[in-house]
Copies of this chain bind each other. A is one copy, B any other.
Amino acid sequence: MSAAEDVARDLLARTSGRITTARLTALSALLSLGRAATHTDLHRQAPDMDRVSLYRALDWLAEQGLASRITDADGVWRYEASVPGADHHHPHFQCSRCHQTTCIEIEGGLTVRLPAGFTQEKIEVLVKGLCRTCSLVSVPLGKTTKARRPA
């Protein structure tokens, strides 16, 4: 039983819900992975768990505040472990070449001035670009970009 699994069990015990293997597996995967991962990423870590059960476990974790769910640059959900109390509103960076998502530390909350009457629930900031390793290579991976010469 890994360290992540112990922590997971402990966190689950603090909720009003049941401690099931699916939730344990999902949460430990999130904890050990450490960064925002897609359902597919996570399912790779736990191939024996049913796809749908994983979705449901992750969504439940998000409801409980133990995970947060964001949309990545390709419109796919990404999940990451989060601390129940403090809401997890830091920006993320996604590399357009290797698609890895990185959390960005930030001092002082990002704020945007909304028009009158609007109420804010959450804010999602996603920076796209090249990560350190991909910056060096610079040639896009997969999906070859078709050159288009100006007139």
Mark A residues whose CB is within 8 Å of B: 16, 63, 71-77, 91, 93, 96, 102, 104, 106, 110, 112-132, 135, 148-151
Contacts and interface: CB of A to CB of B under 8 A. Distances in A.
B151 A16 contact: yes
Identical chains in the assembly: 2
Contact of A118 (B71, B74, B123, B130): B130
Contacts of A72: 71
A73 B119 CA distance: 16
Contacts of A113: 104, 106
A128 B117 contact: no
Nearest to A151: B16
A130 B124 contact: no
B132 A117 contact: yes
Those 4 A-B pairs whose CB atoms lie nearest each other, nearest first = A117-B132, A75-B75, A16-B151, A120-B129
